[in-house]
């Protein structure tokens, strides 16, 4: 049976609210996800929250009811509260009616089974949570295995990043690594590393990509460092026919991912 919390001073409310800060997420190994759509996507992927907070009116939806029942059956806790407290937890004036608190995933490279998919996405020094969310959603759409974040990237468990993934955080594998560690891991098995670069001379549609293909994209402002480009098996570029000199990194990732997909799907 869900318990009720209506006091801002409740210790659990303070604890959960603190998860909006990276330091507390790291200490607790927990993160927030908001909205019935994202929480349902997670549930369908077999991931349930440790805690689910909900407004009374939000619990009337059949999907919300099913989620609450599943959390309690798994040993988690369901908590009924009001919209003011939900706003305090989410940091939004108009909060979702359901918020989940999840255990952070293990993000070591050992979690990645490269044989599980033909496409993997690798992002170096990615900084924008919106780009991370779009890339994860693209990965989900093309059947990629997941996203490997190299060097200092945006926190995939931040409230903004989780919101931007629209649930793809729970359907895609995520790993984090420094560049030398990633290269050592990659070269220990099959995998073609394809970098996107304005310095490339080869059009992105020219090669026949080998499986598994690791699509490497760089930082939003600087792109890939030259020494990283040198370690790629292939460097490719997309034609730019207007005055812009480059595409948004998430858009470029999508163009590349769909080219690799189109080469492999039956005609």
pLDDT in tens, 72-105: 999 999 999 998 999 988 877 777 789 999 999 9
Mean residue pLDDT of the chain comes to 93
Per-residue pLDDT at 3: 85
Per-residue pLDDT at 93: 74
Model confidence at 1: pLDDT above 70: no
Considering the domain architecture, whether residues 135 and 204 belong to the same structural domain is answered as yes
Question: What CATH code is carried by the domain that includes residue 91?
Answer: 3.30.1330.30
What's phi and psi for 63, nearest 5 deg? -70, -35
Which residues are 30's β-sheet partners?
103
Considering the domain architecture, whether residues 118 and 38 belong to the same structural domain is answered as no
Q: What is the mean pLDDT of residues 256-264?
A: 96
Contact 228, 197 (CB under 8 A): no
Considering the domain architecture, whether residues 90 and 28 belong to the same structural domain is answered as yes
Per-residue pLDDT at 8: 84
Per-residue pLDDT at 2: 75
126: containing domain: 109-264
- The conformational region for residue 234 under phi > 0 = left, psi -120 to 50 = alpha, else beta, is beta
For the whole model, what pTM was predicted?
0.92
Question: What CATH code is carried by the domain that includes residue 238?
Answer: 3.40.1280.10
């Amino acid at each position: 049976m869900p318990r009720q919390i209506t006091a801002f001073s409740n210790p659990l409310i303070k604890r959960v609210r603190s998860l909006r800060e990276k330091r507390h997420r790291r200490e607790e190994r927990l993160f927030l996800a908001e909205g019935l759509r994202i929480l349902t996507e997670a549930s369908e992927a077999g991931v349930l929250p440790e805690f689910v907070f909900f407004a009374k009116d939000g619990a009337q939806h059949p999907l919300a009811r099913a989620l609450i029942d599943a959390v309690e059956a798994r040993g988690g806790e369901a908590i009924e509260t009001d919209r003011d407290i939900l706003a305090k937890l989410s940091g939004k004036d108009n909060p979702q009616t359901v918020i989940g608190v999840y255990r952070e995933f293990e993000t070591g490279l050992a979690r990645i089974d490269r044989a599980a998919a033909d496409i993997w996405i690798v992002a170096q020094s990615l900084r924008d949570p919106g780009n991370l969310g779009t890339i994860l959603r693209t990965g989900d759409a093309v059947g990629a295995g997941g996203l490997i974040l190299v060097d200092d990237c945006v926190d995939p468990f931040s409230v903004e990043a989780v919101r931007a993934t629209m649930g793809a955080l729970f359907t895609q594998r995520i790993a984090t690594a420094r560049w030398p560690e990633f290269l050592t891991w990659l070269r220990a098995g099959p995998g073609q590393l394809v970098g996107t670069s304005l310095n490339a001379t080869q059009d992105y549609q020219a090669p026949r990509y080998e499986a598994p293909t690791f699509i490497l994209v760089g930082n939003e402002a600087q792109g890939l460092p030259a020494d990283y480009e040198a370690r790629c098996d292939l460097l490719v570029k997309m034609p730019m026919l207007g005055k812009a000199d480059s595409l948004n990194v998430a858009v470029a990732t999508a163009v590349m991912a769909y080219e690799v997909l189109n080469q492999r799907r039956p005609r």
